[in-house]
Amino acid sequence: MGKKIVIVGGVAGGASTAARLRRLDEEAEIIIMEKGDHISFANCGLPYHIGGVIKEREKLLVQTPESMEARFNIDVRVRNEVVRIDRDKKEIKVRDLNKNEIYCESYDFLILSPGAEPIKPPIDGVDFPNVFTLRNIPDTDNINEFISKNNPDRAVVVGGGFIGLEMAENLQERGLKVSLVEMAPQVMGNMDYEMAAMIHNHLREQGIDLHLNDGIASVNRKGGKTVVVLQSGREIETDLVIMAIGVRPSTKLAREAGLEIGESGGIKVNEYLQTSDRYIYAIGDAIEVIHLVTGQSVLIPLAGPANKQGRIVANIISGKSDKYKGTQGTAVARVFNLTVASTGASEKLLKKAGRDYLVSYTVSKNHAGYYPGAKPMTIKLLFTPDRGVVLGAQIVGYEGVDKRIDLLATAVRHEMTVYDLQELELAYAPPFGSAKDPVNMAGYTASNILDGLVEVVYWDDINNLDKNTILLDVREEVETQIGSINGSVNIPLNSLRERLDELDKDKDIIVYCAMGLRGYIGYRILKQHGFKKVKNLSGGYKLYKAVQD
Amino acid sequence: MGKKIVIVGGVAGGASTAARLRRLDEEAEIIIMEKGDHISFANCGLPYHIGGVIKEREKLLVQTPESMEARFNIDVRVRNEVVRIDRDKKEIKVRDLNKNEIYCESYDFLILSPGAEPIKPPIDGVDFPNVFTLRNIPDTDNINEFISKNNPDRAVVVGGGFIGLEMAENLQERGLKVSLVEMAPQVMGNMDYEMAAMIHNHLREQGIDLHLNDGIASVNRKGGKTVVVLQSGREIETDLVIMAIGVRPSTKLAREAGLEIGESGGIKVNEYLQTSDRYIYAIGDAIEVIHLVTGQSVLIPLAGPANKQGRIVANIISGKSDKYKGTQGTAVARVFNLTVASTGASEKLLKKAGRDYLVSYTVSKNHAGYYPGAKPMTIKLLFTPDRGVVLGAQIVGYEGVDKRIDLLATAVRHEMTVYDLQELELAYAPPFGSAKDPVNMAGYTASNILDGLVEVVYWDDINNLDKNTILLDVREEVETQIGSINGSVNIPLNSLRERLDELDKDKDIIVYCAMGLRGYIGYRILKQHGFKKVKNLSGGYKLYKAVQD
Ligand SMILES: Cc1cc2nc3c(=O)[nH]c(=O)nc-3n(C[C@H](O)[C@H](O)[C@H](O)COP(=O)(O)OP(=O)(O)OC[C@H]3O[C@@H](n4cnc5c(N)ncnc54)[C@H](O)[C@@H]3O)c2cc1C
Ligand SMILES: Cc1cc2nc3c(=O)[nH]c(=O)nc-3n(C[C@H](O)[C@H](O)[C@H](O)COP(=O)(O)OP(=O)(O)OC[C@H]3O[C@@H](n4cnc5c(N)ncnc54)[C@H](O)[C@@H]3O)c2cc1C
Ligand SMILES: CC(C)(COP(=O)(O)OP(=O)(O)OC[C@H]1O[C@@H](n2cnc3c(N)ncnc32)[C@H](O)[C@@H]1OP(=O)(O)O)[C@@H](O)C(=O)NCCC(=O)NCCS
Ligand SMILES: CC(C)(COP(=O)(O)OP(=O)(O)OC[C@H]1O[C@@H](n2cnc3c(N)ncnc32)[C@H](O)[C@@H]1OP(=O)(O)O)[C@@H](O)C(=O)NCCC(=O)NCCS
């Protein structure tokens, strides 16, 4: 008989471990303990099932206990909750939720993939029957049932992370009027403020009632109606509330067994995904990971890492050398018509980690501008000031954002520089890209900063300028009709060379255009004609404006 | 006064050089000599303008001489053909095509970006007025005018490269019935045969009258009709013919000036893009490049490399250190509903170069299968047998192919291994990807081969099997209705463990399923139960079938 391996949790991390284990080892005894009714379901699809985008509920079940048993000869025990680990005996206690009985099961290796739980803040009304969280199929069924039965008009989504935003979109899709409440000044905490600002504008355009800088204080009932009360005192009448303020790693079992818990609150593991007990491994949302860029211990609850860790643990337990090198937090979400994505470290994170970095913004079309349907995406690139190593990237746009974030994620993982980005030879045909892809363009623009070919200022510098600074708008005159920065002088780029004498060579000059490209060309012209104190507004008026709106 | 730089050719390479040069150097005198009427036009958009997809002709003009002069202070001379280079004097002779006069122009540096010319085979009828090639705007105008005037019903496109295929699609879009004639056994010479086979099937499904293995012999007139005669003797009646059998680098000028020409027929340059004359640089379709993977000298006429080389030459001439590291041939094309892409070396190319390699096929959906609209893509991965360094990749699929080829192109350029592909942390949300992206999956499957976890056979091994070999089909019984390999035994994967005794442990067994995944699992089961001579069919029945069709 082979090793006996017990896995706690049968979804992303757990099921992946089990499948790979079996492929590596026909002899092993493999048991999945899952307290819920389902294994191997598509957590990430739940919001879209509520929105009616994924119509059939069965589609959410990637594997069933039966299929997992038939294909992988795995002993799958749903409605079996592991309640205790006895490390000395290498035994667990399991509650069979059907019979409400507790039994013991021994293990050679134990793998914890218990995931995370939605955070429910300790506020009044959080347990009202129309206040929901979303983690699994029963949660989804509850929300669906509530909507079908009560035909509600209004929803409040609390929390502007990706689950909150997906829920906002899908509830609106389902016909509800949605308010989104976020305590922070911005949605999508993985992005920086100015990038999130574009999302805020889009949410408002889509008719979402957006409340930033305002947390939830309580849920009340007033005259038969549900009212969400915010910390500011503002009240929002609603029919249902979705709490999506984040998740907390499920560490109870590990904690009670005396396994080491990291500073961030996740189960601590080494690079072999081994806990402080060498026979117990842990993976997925429950663990603390090393941030690939900052080296800090963090929680990054995402499906890609969970699945990958599951496979790595299976390798390790089967004696195949492998290790987990860290998580970089590559993420993407659709937010109505927008696609929003990030990878690596944000500016916020780099600041917190005390790291030096430079920033560059570019705006590029997803494919050749002359081919119908081209749409712009704004890329924020973060890189080291010495060699230009890519530290992180954020993109807000439409089609093709996922492609560019994946390329930049690969650059981050392989410590490529902005010079490497210039050289990437990417596929180009009119429907798919440009001869200079947005990623090449981000590389060009960033390396120009590094090489000292241009000096830049940023959107947040503009409001703190010395009042003698000249704000030089090099857009065409017609473009200024959509607005410009207060106090600008307009000299369109194409006439700049002839009109240089209108500008004072000794003054500070900030050049800007719509997106940064013409401003850069303007900078090059001015600099080479003896203007000493010139800077270009990175990201241009478009980004500046997005933050003001 | 600064350096005087003359650029021959004002489109992809030439215009890029000029723009970057000016940004780096306000002082330089920069002249673009362009024999045609237009600079900086979108060659790649021409087929789509003929198809009516790009409606406005002006969209094809990315820059005009006027805009280039206004923005970049560049002396743009259209209808000026450089006819001779006098290297000793550092002078060129130019024919002003308006005045039909020849004049001289001196240079400090000369940059050749004359592109390539469509090959016209020396056959009868090739100069008929209804036989066209497509390279520039006048060519496009001619074709458009012919179609508008004559309202033709039928077209023959000769050549199945990407321009030929794009023309076939766009002419059909325009309402013509199209025959495609290709001398080779396959279209898209950059792909391997089995991958092209999927394109053949799709072309036929779309109603293209496809003739492979059959070159054009002549174009005749018979009773007032145009007839294309093939080498096989077959005749195709048509109203117009598009010759798209490839391009030849424009080297006349360089050749006559005694510049070194490479074995492949392109202008020879070093890694600084310098010709055998240190004051003359050359870029774009006219040059021979080093293939990044094989190290061989090759012609790769693509817009991305031309644009990048233009920028690099500008850097070098301005004294900024830079060099060109080689071309890998990353390309993508839409072929009706398909997207077809490749990067790095094909199997053909590796064979020719005498390189060792392994092959792996995977079929993955572009995004989560449970999210509506998921579509499969077939990935062929080529990698070294020692460390698994990625040498090349080819993909045929629908949406999301361009994203994966770009990731694999980045892997090729950075000499990543198939193990690196496993670890890439790519963005996942249901509309965009999977927790295990197709690229991760390609990495898993390839590394399983490298690690000896599975042995594989390929589609072209099947017809040469020893007749004692067991062909074990592990698909579900219903799936066998769409066909199976002759002489197969069907034992569905999920009952394989119970039915092992139906198989002979000492015989050779080839396991297969639809795409390779279940075959692999079947292999793992058999191998670990004492079956010694098992192999899995890489790519499964789907790929095998595509080649037979
Ligand atoms: C609505 C939603 C949308 C999401 N969208 C995305 C997305 O688009 N992209 C992305 O990357 N990620 C997304 N995620 C996150 C992703 O689903 C998780 O990162 C991933 O599922 C984590 O895998 P895991 O194995 O750690 O935990 P889970 O997949 O949550 O599995 C843990 C399982 O363990 C069980 N369990 C816990 N304790 C016990 C116990 N004591 N005994 C027995 N069983 C136990 C639980 O019941 C649970 O089923 C989303 C999550 C949700 C909820
Ligand atoms: C129909 C079509 C579709 C294409 N689609 C794609 C695609 O989807 N993706 C892709 O990557 N590539 C594509 N290409 C290829 C791409 O356009 C070329 O690789 C690229 O334009 C090469 O740039 P170049 O500067 O070398 O040559 P060109 O862009 O061709 O420019 C050369 C110019 O030099 C001029 N010239 C030549 N000799 C002289 C002389 N003696 N004096 C003055 N002027 C001269 C010519 O008139 C010409 O305008 C396509 C090409 C065509 C024709
Ligand atoms: C489905 C699930 C059980 C994992 O099962 P799995 O068998 O490891 O994963 P897949 O079905 O994706 O198959 C991957 C395997 O097939 C192999 N494979 C894929 N295509 C192949 C092909 N064409 N030929 C040969 N092998 C192939 C891969 O190499 C890999 O095997 P390996 O790990 O031994 O190398 C698990 O991922 C799961 O439960 N998912 C749903 C839950 C979830 O992830 N939720 C969060 C996201 S919504
Ligand atoms: C358009 C053309 C003239 C090139 O002009 P270009 O100015 O070099 O190219 P782009 O307009 O793409 O601009 C790129 C520059 O803008 C900069 N840039 C782009 N976005 C920027 C931003 N937001 N902020 C600052 N700089 C930016 C880049 O860094 C780059 O400058 P650099 O080369 O000095 O680093 C040339 O590519 C061309 O003729 N194209 C059409 C022909 C062709 O390519 N045909 C084949 C394909 S169809």
The torsion angles phi and psi of B388, rounded to 5 degrees, stand at 80, 30
Q: For A214-269, how does the pLDDT look when each residue is reduced to its tens digit (9 = 90+)? A: 999 999 999 889 999 999 999 999 999 999 999 999 999 999 999 999 999 999 99
Instruction: Please tell me if the CB atom of residue B334 comes closer than 6 angstroms to any atom of ligand 3.
Output: no
- Distance, CA of B316 to CA of B311 (rounded, Å): 9
Structure tokens at B505: 């442990």
pLDDT of residue A380: 98
pLDDT of residue A549: 85
- Distance, CA of B193 to CA of A468 (rounded, Å): 67
**Inter-chain touch B424–A413, beta carbons under 8 Å:** yes
Instruction: Please tell me if the CB atom of residue B524 comes closer than 6 angstroms to any atom of ligand 3.
Output: no
Catalytic-residue membership of B44: yes
pLDDT of residue B109: 98
Ligand closest to A303 (CA) is: 1
| pLDDT for A70 beyond 90 | yes
Residues of chain A positioned with their CB less than 8 A from the CB of B23: 453, 520-521, 524
pLDDT of residue A224: 87
Burial class (CB in 10 A: 0-12, 13-18, 19+), A75: middle
Q: Which of A43, A49, A59, A62 to mutate to test the pocket of ligand 3 (most atoms within 8 A of CB)?
A: A62
* DSSP code per residue over A400-417: BHHHHHHHHHHHHHTT-B
- Distance, CA of B86 to CA of B92 (rounded, Å): 6
Strands B338-344 and B390-397: what pairing?
Answer: antiparallel
- Distance, CA of B237 to CA of A98 (rounded, Å): 75
Instruction: Please tell me if the CB atom of residue A8 comes closer than 6 angstroms to any atom of ligand 1.
Output: yes
Mutate to test the interface with A, among B11, B370, B451 (most CBs of A within 10 A): B370
The torsion angles phi and psi of A444, rounded to 5 degrees, stand at -60, -50
Residues of chain B positioned with their CB less than 8 A from the CB of A452: none
Q: Rounded to the nearest 10 degrees, what angle do helices B12-24 and B303-317 cross at?
A: 30
pLDDT per position in chain B (549 positions), as tens? 799 999 999 999 999 999 999 999 999 999 999 999 999 999 999 999 999 999 999 999 999 999 999 999 999 999 999 999 999 999 999 999 999 999 999 999 999 999 999 999 999 999 999 999 999 999 999 999 999 999 999 999 999 999 999 999 999 999 999 999 999 999 999 999 999 999 999 999 999 999 999 999 999 999 889 999 999 999 999 999 999 999 999 999 999 999 999 999 999 999 999 999 999 999 999 999 999 999 999 999 999 999 999 999 999 999 999 999 999 999 999 999 999 999 999 999 999 999 999 999 999 999 999 999 999 999 999 999 999 999 999 999 999 999 999 999 999 999 999 999 999 999 999 999 999 999 999 999 999 999 999 999 999 999 999 989 999 999 999 999 999 999 999 999 999 999 999 999 999 999 999 999 999 999 999 999 999 999 999 999 999 999 998
Residue of B nearest to A370 (CA): B59
| pLDDT for A170 beyond 90 | yes
Residues of chain B positioned with their CB less than 8 A from the CB of A162: 429
Q: For A333-391, how does the pLDDT look when each residue is reduced to its tens digit (9 = 90+)? A: 999 999 999 999 999 999 999 999 999 999 999 999 999 999 999 999 999 999 999 99
Q: Spot the catalytic one: B24, B42, B44, B517.
A: B44
pLDDT of residue B549: 85
* DSSP code per residue over B468-535: T-EEEE-S-GGGGGG---TTEEE--GGGTGGGGGGS-TTS-EEEE-SSSHHHHHHHHHHHHTT--SEE
Which residues of A does the annotation mark as catalytic? 44
pLDDT of residue B473: 98
- Write down how long chain B is: 549
Mutate to test the interface with B, among A425, A450, A531 (most CBs of B within 10 A): A425
Instruction: Report the pLDDT averaged over residues A315-337.
Output: 97
Q: For A531-549, how does the pLDDT look when each residue is reduced to its tens digit (9 = 90+)? A: 999 999 999 999 999 999 8
**ipTM metric:** 0.98
